[in-house]
Structure 1
Amino acid sequence: MKVAILNQQDKIKVGKPLKDLIKRSAEAALKFFDLRTDVEISVMLTDNDGIRDLNKLHRNIDRTTDVLSFPMFEYNEAGEINEDYAELNEMGEICLGDIVISLERAEEQAEEYGHSFEREVGFLTVHSMLHLLGFDHMTEEEEKEMFDYQREILEQMELTR
């Protein structure tokens, strides 16, 4: 799995451990669904102002959020990659899409929820990966399914509260 990480903020130090956590979290979501791993995602790390600007631009919502997901394609069934419609990059990898995480908001939420910053970043990465895999939480049923998957994946990673 290729994970391209772009740091666009300067409030929180981004080193190898944080990058490894993001990659491990993304890989855990793929492994959970027994999906092929020759995929690519990009992850942009930003601050509250940066994610607010993107939220307004792409969703017309003028407020800070913790994570945004931009899937590259739609699914017939969540969690099942239809390779006929998947875009391949020059390496033959499926481009799943882009993730944007506000590290500033992740730090705030970790403190608010009483768990580690690492657990929060892992959670946000897994949450966004599920969106890239076609899952959503628009209905109560979808929300329960998606949140159950998140919890199970994080437990497998030993990233609990």
Structure 2
Amino acid sequence: MTLSLEWIDEREGGAGEREEKWMDLLEKLLRVAGEKEDVKRGIVTLTLTDDEGIRELNRQYRGLDKPTDVLSFSMIEGEQADIHYEDEYESSEEGADDWRDEDQAGDPFSDMLGDIVISVPRAEAQAEEYGHSFERELGFLFVHGFLHLLGYDHGDEEQERAMFAKQEEVLLEAGLTR
């Protein structure tokens, strides 16, 4: 397995030709960021939504009743993550040690790095506000979200400098300049 991107468009009207072009860019950014962070395999799910959709997630998971630009939900943060799964992935007592195919015996979520949710209207507004292309803003938000999936944060100045430097390095390599 390699590093891959799955995406969902929850906006009214869904994805179109414009969004298909975004996916090529985002897959390139995922490859570049993955190489720089030595992430060789995993699945990232990207959801494109609107301000109301991301506001609801922000309220539900962060207690902030307002829209934001990007949210990340990591499946690999912390070793204490307790993921439960049922049905075909659970082994029964009978024959529990009889697995022959390690892929079937493994955790079905082991390849999931996590989910990134981006508000497209917020990205469009920020691109205009910052005076750069929408693609650059979308790429910035995506790489930012990806680094959060890997455990990076920007809680203090030092962390912010390190994380933003990594983001800029990926964006520059992908040709997304300000």
| Normalised TM-score (structure 1) | 0.85
The residue correspondences of 1:6-155 to structure 2 (distance < 5 A) are: 6-10=8-12, 13=16, 14-36=18-40, 38-75=41-78, 89=108, 94-155=111-172
Deviation at 1:29, TM superposition (A): 1.1
Deviation at 1:15, TM superposition (A): 2.9
Provide the C-alpha distance between the structure 1 equivalents of 2:113 and 2:54, rounded to a whole number of angstroms.
20
Post-superposition Cα deviations, 1:21-53, rounded to whole Å, max 9, x if no partner, equal 2222222211112321x2101110000111001
Provide the C-alpha distance between the structure 2 equivalents of 1:88 and 1:17, rounded to a whole number of angstroms.
33
Post-superposition Cα deviations, 1:51-73, rounded to whole Å, max 9, x if no partner, equal 00110000000111000000002
Provide the C-alpha distance between the structure 1 equivalents of 2:30 and 2:4, rounded to a whole number of angstroms.
10
Q: 1:75 to 1:145 in 2, by over 3 A?
A: farther
Deviation at 1:139, TM superposition (A): 1.1
Which letter does structure 2 place at the counterpart of 1:18?
W
Indicate conservation of the 8 Å contact 2:76/2:150, yes or no: no
Aligned to 2:101: none
Which sections of structure 1, spanning at least 5 residues, go unmatched?
A: 77-86
Indicate conservation of the 8 Å contact 2:70/2:117, yes or no: yes
Provide the C-alpha distance between the structure 2 equivalents of 1:160 and 1:143, rounded to a whole number of angstroms.
19
Provide the C-alpha distance between the structure 2 equivalents of 1:75 and 1:146, rounded to a whole number of angstroms.
18
> In percent, how many aligned pairs have the same letter?
45
**Who wins on radius of gyration, i.e. which is larger?**
2
Q: 1:157 to 1:58 in 2, by over 3 A?
A: same
Judge which range, 117-126 or 12-21, deviates more: 12-21
- Aligned CA RMSD, in angstroms, stands at 1.9
Indicate conservation of the 8 Å contact 1:51/1:102, yes or no: yes
Provide the C-alpha distance between the structure 2 equivalents of 1:21 and 1:88, rounded to a whole number of angstroms.
30
Aligned to 1:81: none
Residue 136 of structure 1: SS of its match in structure 2? coil
Aligned to 1:83: none
Post-superposition Cα deviations, 1:82-141, rounded to whole Å, max 9, x if no partner, equal xxxxx8548xx6210000000110000000000000011111000000001110000111
Residue 166 of structure 2: SS of its match in structure 1? helix
